[in-house]
Amino acid sequence: MQHHDRTLRIIGGNWRGRKITFPQIDVIRPTSDRVRETLFNWLMHDINGARCLDLFAGSGALGIEALSRGAESVTLVEQDKKIAASIEDNLDKLGAANNTWRVEVNDAYQWIKNQDTAYDIVFLDPPFGDDKLAELVTLITKQGIAYRCLYVETGQPLESGVLPGGWEIVKQKRAGAVHYALCGAISD
């Protein structure tokens, strides 16, 4: 049986209206157009020149949208080689400058443990049912990886108790089964 690639449209920025494709693989649950639009409206004043990290990149839609809207750089972490290759293909087809992006084929948890680069914005969209969100945010915080904005997409509302100290939920919404929240670092 032939599997056709799935397609997403980039909503804003330099590549607005261009399409990206990604493999028809069940583990990929791309962030919907409506959710991406809301998220990037929230980030409007933070995205330009930002260094972004897209963990559990999947389709790469969040990282690619960030680059389209003026992010300085995006690191996309995806453990599936085929999916990672598809992200690289899309960035090449869009003509993204090589120095603005990097795709890391790795398990997100393993990858974070060896990092000390600080990112302005971290996109966290782990597989639903992965109950390690608190652990993940704690690890990211401990490593000093996220220091301005943390975007979280989950299958249930984000409780402030899930976040380690130093983070607060700035905005939170729901679209169907998807709950998404923008968290900000609490300044001292």
Model pLDDT, residue 2: 44
Model pLDDT, residue 95: 95
Model pLDDT, residue 1: 39
What are the distances in angstroms from CA 53 to CA 4, 112, 169? 28, 11, 19
Selection from 34, 11, 4, 8 nearest residue 21 by Cα:
8
pTM, entire model? 0.91
Model pLDDT, residue 96: 93
How does pLDDT run across 70-114, given as a tens digit for each residue? 999 999 999 999 999 999 999 999 999 888 999 999 998 889 988
Residues of the chain with pLDDT under 70: 1-4, 128-130, 160, 187-188
Model pLDDT, residue 44: 92
Quote the longest CA-to-CA distance of the chain.
Answer: 57
CATH fold for the domain made of 6-185:
Rossmann fold (3.40.50)
Model pLDDT, residue 41: 94
Cα–Cα distance, 136 to 129 (Å, whole number): 14
